[in-house]
Amino acid sequence: MNATKTANYRLNKTILLLLDNIVLIILLLLILALTLMTDKFMTTVNWLNILKAVALKGVIAFGMTMVIICAQIDLSIGSVVAIAGVIAAWFAKTLPELWGISVDLAAVIGIIAALLFSIVVGCFHAYSHVKFGMPAFIITLATQLFLFGLAGIICGGYPIAGKMPAWFNNLGFGRIGIIPIPAIVLLIIFFLTWFIMDLTSMGRSIYAVGGNSEAARLSGINVMKTQMFCFALTAVLSTLSGFMVSGQVMQASFTFGKGWETDVISSVVIGGTSMTGGIGKITGTMLGVIFIGVISNGMTLLNVSVYMQYVIRGFLLFGAVLISIFLPRMKQKLTY
């Protein structure tokens, strides 16, 4: 009898270990399959391209992880990406003509203005949710539309091209050695957000608010301050991504970032963050970001049609949410 219990216990522990690392296991199998299917995949150049490609959405995904752990959602990130680049480019284009200052100084002012604007947007999201009880889904959907239109008005419906200084453009396509600057930014933001979530009181507050906001409030946690931090940081990271994408193509447009919400949320959910809040890890999101990047890169190398890529990405999002719902239940059954 004891031998049977021991065997069952070991089996359950093994299954739990597999479930805890299911994304990593699938990612490794996917990498193996793509390596066998095309000789272009497992190369240094290709992996650097993957890191450069995922960096733009990846930095936002780390902020979105905090928002979702806090049991909220932010659908405005794509529009924040667009308006960040537009604001910076508009200042760089306009201020030298109005004030006679250098393009470099005008660009710095534009960058600061875009960052401050993003913080205001993030704080507005949290304030509207906590103060008025409005669902974050509706609030951020409204700001998504508002900011998209505002970005279009600022740039007059046309891209603002060739107005940013060279150092700004290097943020998008520059390299340090062989490593793209966006990839370096991705790693810096990863370690910063991991530190916040795992080693600070703010991180513990985010988990507490996401688990039960009323209990967190009664225990002395400032719910509005916690949510403001999550939304504002996500908006700031979206702004940083907006700078990178504008620098990458050396122009700013109100269409940049459109539809990015799908890949960002997919990365977060695939990484194991629960849509109901209170559960998730920054390290898991990094796996999710790489997973999405490998999928996109692999489909491109295999000449999968753009339309089929959308089908697969939609399937992945649905499957990831489904797994996030049933996985905790399966683990609970195995634990007891």
- Asked whether 198 and 286 are in contact (CB, 8 A), the reply is no
Sign of the alpha-carbon torsion through 278, 316, 300, 148: negative
User: Quick one: pLDDT at residue 168?
Assistant: 92
Whether residue 150 lies inside any domain: the answer is yes
For residue 112, pLDDT beyond 90? yes
Contacts of 264 (CB under 8 A, 6+ apart): 57, 60, 61, 64, 77
Enclosing domain of residue 134: 23-335
Task: Specify if 8 maps to a domain.
Answer: no
Say if 234 falls within a structural domain: yes
Q: pLDDT-derived band of residue 2, with 50, 70 and 90 as boundaries?
A: low
For 267, the enclosing helix (H) or strand (E) is helix 260-270
Cβ 92 vs Cβ 250: under 8 Å: no
In a domain, 7, yes or no: no
Mean pLDDT of 51-78: 96
Answer for the pair 269, 5: CB distance below 8 angstroms, yes or no: no
Three-point CA angle 112, 114, 119, nearest 5°: 95
Position 16 pLDDT exceeds 80: no
User: What is the average per-residue pLDDT within 37-62?
Assistant: 94
Asked if residue 11 is part of any domain, the answer here is no
Q: Is residue 186 in some structural domain?
A: yes
Confidence of residue 63 (pLDDT cuts 50, 70, 90): very high
| Domains contained in the chain, number | 1
Query: Is 2 part of a structural domain of the chain?
Result: no
The answer to whether residue 269 is domain-embedded is yes
pTM: 0.92
CATH of the domain at 52: 1.10.3470
At 334, the pLDDT band (50, 70, 90 cuts) reads low
Residue 147: C-alpha distances to residues 25, 134, 137, 167 (Å): 39, 19, 15, 26
pLDDT of residue 275: 87
Which pLDDT tens digit goes with each residue over 189-231?
Answer: 999 999 999 999 999 999 999 999 999 999 999 999 999 999 9
